[in-house]
Protein backbone atom coordinates (compact mmCIF):
# COMPACT_ATOMS: atom_id res chain seq x y z
CA UNK A 1 0.00 0.00 0.00
CA UNK A 2 0.90 3.62 -0.21
CA UNK A 3 3.33 4.57 2.55
CA UNK A 4 2.48 8.27 2.60
CA UNK A 5 -1.00 9.62 2.02
CA UNK A 6 -2.45 13.02 1.39
CA UNK A 7 -6.18 12.58 1.72
CA UNK A 8 -7.13 16.00 0.35
CA UNK A 9 -6.42 16.33 -3.34
CA UNK A 10 -7.26 20.02 -3.27
CA UNK A 11 -7.64 22.97 -0.91
CA UNK A 12 -8.82 26.51 -1.55
CA UNK A 13 -7.96 29.33 0.84
CA UNK A 14 -8.59 33.06 0.75
CA UNK A 15 -5.63 35.38 0.52
CA UNK A 16 -4.33 36.21 3.99
CA UNK A 17 -5.73 33.04 5.51
CA UNK A 18 -3.96 29.98 6.91
CA UNK A 19 -3.45 27.01 4.61
CA UNK A 20 -3.24 23.68 6.42
CA UNK A 21 -1.99 20.70 4.47
CA UNK A 22 -2.04 17.23 5.99
CA UNK A 23 -0.10 14.05 5.51
CA UNK A 24 -0.35 10.59 7.08
CA UNK A 25 2.27 7.87 6.95
CA UNK A 26 2.31 4.18 7.77
CA UNK A 27 5.86 3.25 8.64
CA UNK A 28 6.75 4.16 12.23
CA UNK A 29 10.43 3.80 11.33
CA UNK A 30 10.23 7.00 9.31
CA UNK A 31 12.24 9.76 10.93
CA UNK A 32 12.54 12.38 8.20
CA UNK A 33 9.54 14.41 7.05
CA UNK A 34 9.43 17.03 4.33
CA UNK A 35 7.19 19.23 2.28
CA UNK A 36 7.88 20.00 -1.36
CA UNK A 37 6.23 22.54 -3.65
CA UNK A 38 5.61 21.68 -7.28
CA UNK A 39 4.35 23.72 -10.17
CA UNK A 40 2.93 21.99 -13.27
CA UNK A 41 5.69 20.70 -15.55
CA UNK A 42 8.32 21.63 -12.99
CA UNK A 43 10.38 19.71 -10.50
CA UNK A 44 9.57 19.47 -6.78
CA UNK A 45 11.34 22.03 -4.62
CA UNK A 46 11.99 21.41 -0.94
CA UNK A 47 10.18 23.89 1.32
CA UNK A 48 10.86 22.63 4.81
CA UNK A 49 11.79 19.43 6.59
CA UNK A 50 12.02 18.04 10.10
CA UNK A 51 13.62 15.10 11.81
CA UNK A 52 11.69 12.97 14.26
CA UNK A 53 13.37 14.46 17.32
CA UNK A 54 11.32 17.65 17.00
CA UNK A 55 7.57 18.09 16.80
CA UNK A 56 7.52 21.54 15.26
CA UNK A 57 9.68 23.65 12.98
CA UNK A 58 9.06 27.17 11.76
CA UNK A 59 10.56 28.94 8.79
CA UNK A 60 8.99 32.27 7.98
CA UNK A 61 5.36 31.70 7.05
CA UNK A 62 5.83 27.93 7.06
CA UNK A 63 5.44 25.64 10.07
CA UNK A 64 5.66 21.86 10.09
CA UNK A 65 3.93 19.99 12.91
CA UNK A 66 4.84 16.37 13.54
CA UNK A 67 2.68 13.97 15.51
CA UNK A 68 4.64 10.73 15.66
CA UNK A 69 2.16 8.83 17.77
CA UNK A 70 -0.53 9.62 15.24
CA UNK A 71 1.80 9.10 12.27
CA UNK A 72 0.75 12.45 10.93
CA UNK A 73 2.45 15.67 9.93
CA UNK A 74 1.13 18.91 8.56
CA UNK A 75 2.25 22.11 6.89
CA UNK A 76 0.76 25.41 7.95
CA UNK A 77 1.19 28.41 5.68
CA UNK A 78 0.21 31.67 7.33
CA UNK A 79 -0.75 34.83 5.45
CA UNK A 80 -1.37 32.75 2.33
CA UNK A 81 -0.71 34.52 -0.95
CA UNK A 82 -1.78 33.82 -4.53
CA UNK A 83 1.85 32.97 -5.27
CA UNK A 84 1.48 30.02 -2.89
CA UNK A 85 -0.86 28.39 -5.40
CA UNK A 86 0.81 25.11 -6.37
CA UNK A 87 0.79 21.40 -5.65
CA UNK A 88 2.27 20.51 -2.27
CA UNK A 89 3.87 17.10 -1.85
CA UNK A 90 4.62 15.59 1.51
CA UNK A 91 7.45 13.09 1.79
CA UNK A 92 8.77 10.85 4.52
CA UNK A 93 11.68 8.49 4.87
CA UNK A 94 13.71 6.15 7.02
CA UNK A 95 17.19 7.38 7.88
CA UNK A 96 18.67 3.97 7.22
CA UNK A 97 17.71 3.90 3.57
CA UNK A 98 17.61 7.49 2.28
CA UNK A 99 14.50 6.74 0.26
CA UNK A 100 11.77 9.33 0.13
CA UNK A 101 8.17 8.21 -0.10
CA UNK A 102 5.86 10.85 -1.50
CA UNK A 103 2.19 11.56 -1.10
CA UNK A 104 0.03 12.12 -4.13
CA UNK A 105 -0.12 15.86 -3.54
CA UNK A 106 -2.60 18.53 -2.52
CA UNK A 107 -3.35 21.29 -4.98
CA UNK A 108 -3.52 24.53 -3.03
CA UNK A 109 -5.33 27.47 -4.56
CA UNK A 110 -5.10 30.84 -2.83
CA UNK A 111 -7.79 33.16 -4.07
CA UNK A 112 -7.28 36.94 -4.02
Residue ranges in contact with other proteins by CB under 8 A: 2, 4, 31-32, 34, 42-46, 49, 51, 89, 91, 93, 95, 97-105
Which residue, 63 or 94, has its beta carbon nearer to other proteins? Answer: 94
CB of 55 to other proteins, least distance (A): 18
Pairing of β 10-14 and β 106-111? parallel
Which residue, 18 or 99, has its beta carbon nearer to other proteins? Answer: 99
CB of 48 to other proteins, least distance (A): 10
Nearest to 71 by CA among 6, 23, 106: 23
Residue ranges of E strands in 54-102: 56-59, 62-67, 72-77, 86-94, 99-102
Amino acid sequence: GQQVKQSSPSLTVQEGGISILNCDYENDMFDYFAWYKKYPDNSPTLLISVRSNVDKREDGRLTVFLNKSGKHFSLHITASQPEDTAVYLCAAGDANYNVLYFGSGTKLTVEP
